Structure 1
Amino acid sequence: MTGMTPLFSAGEDESRVSREASSLTSTGRWALTGDRKGLERKFHFKTFKAAWDFMNMVATECKVQKHHPEWTNIYNKTQIRWTTHNPSGLSSKDIHMAKFCDAAAAKLGELPSSDATSLGSKEATPLEAGDCCKPKDNNTQS
């Protein structure tokens, strides 16, 4: 986790949570948040529908786990931050949900993301929509 030590949720097995968080961040896809109380990652899919299906899969598991993310979605990209609010800090639920997200994204054909490692700030880095919102040029001649 690039030399930063997570701040753990009270009552957690810090050794186990730290080890599992390190295995997630060592891939370069997940990053420890700037406040060190959570994990965050960006996901990139081929279509808006795939991104929405991913969010629905995650939302269903959230209901089972009684744990919710901080997330944003713009077109085919979703950014997720897992942190536990009460008691505050990184918890085993955050680890479970991060692993679930990886598996769900793989099932839905996640695309490689060039900006996946630009995380780790207190505030989420805004996602950009790409070319999905550009008007089509109807004046092209064939």
Structure 2
Amino acid sequence: SSNRYASSVLYPTSTRAAATGVVGNWRFYNRQQAHTLTTKAATKRKMVAKLTEEERVEKLQPLLDAGWTLVEGRDAIYKEFVLKDFNQAFSLMTGVALLAEKMNHHPEWFNCYNKVQVTLSTHDVGGLSSQDIRMGNYLEAQAKLLI
């Protein structure tokens, strides 16, 4: 007997299903459907472009003025947020994680007690993009609410 799923690929039906691992929200797609899904996702990611010099002056400078620094050896920005305690640090990370999932743009970060170290760069374009600016501005706004 043949397995009807032998030439199929299993994909989550939603981002939430993927994050929670709920099997009931997964669906089998044939190879052509799977190719279409991954091609659409790749096309969507490619719409992001590396910041131009003009955008760097206009959009990146406010983050640099707020304490972000350029990372030596790569096109990225970095900042360490020092909060009152672990609960505030975790709260900052939770809020950012929700936006990151929605944007499909995830920061590099490290947490130790009340400190959250964040590096932003867009891997798909090999440097800084508007997504990093948006994420950096969001981090600044959220940190101000907590501090």
TM-score range (shorter-chain normalised) is 0.5 to 0.7
Q: In structure 2, which of residues 37, 46, 55 is the aligned counterpart of residue 16 of structure 1?
A: 55
C-alpha separation in 1, matches of 2:50 and 2:143? 30
Task: Specify the structure having the higher radius of gyration (Cα).
Answer: 2
% identity of equivalent residues: 35
| One-letter amino acid of the counterpart of residue 123, structure 2 | H
Are the counterparts in 2 of residues 17 and 92 from structure 1 also a CA contact under 8 Å? no
Are the counterparts in 1 of residues 50 and 128 from structure 2 also a CA contact under 8 Å? no
C-alpha separation in 1, matches of 2:74 and 2:57? 11
C-alpha separation in 2, matches of 1:11 and 1:84? 8
Q: Which residue of 2 aligns with 1:26?
A: 65
Q: Which residue of 1 aligns with 2:25?
A: none
C-alpha separation in 1, matches of 2:113 and 2:133? 26
C-alpha separation in 1, matches of 2:49 and 2:98? 26
Q: Which residue of 2 aligns with 1:58?
A: 96
CA deviation vs aligned residue, 1:85-138 (integer Å, no higher than 9, x gap): 1121111100110000000101111xxxxxxxxxxxxxxxxxxxxxxxxxxxxx
Q: CA deviation at 1:65?
A: 1.1
Structure 2: tracts of 5 or more residues without a match: 1-47
Stretches of 4+ moved more than 2 A in 1? 9-14
Q: In structure 2, which of residues 60, 68, 73 is the aligned counterpart of residue 35 of structure 1?
A: 73
Are the counterparts in 2 of residues 42 and 80 from structure 1 also a CA contact under 8 Å? yes
TM-score (norm 1): 0.65
Higher fraction of helix = 2
Q: Which residue of 2 aligns with 1:76?
A: 114
C-alpha separation in 2, matches of 1:87 and 1:63? 18
CA deviation vs aligned residue, 1:19-55 (integer Å, no higher than 9, x gap): 211121123x100111241111000111100000000
Q: Which residue of 2 aligns with 1:91?
A: 129
| One-letter amino acid of the counterpart of residue 98, structure 1 | G
Greater RCO between the two (CA within 8 Å, min separation 6)? 1
Cα distance, 1:11–1:91 mapped onto 2, change above 3 Å:
closer
| C-alpha RMSD of the superposition | 1.6
Cα distance, 1:11–1:83 mapped onto 2, change above 3 Å:
closer
C-alpha separation in 2, matches of 1:15 and 1:96? 16
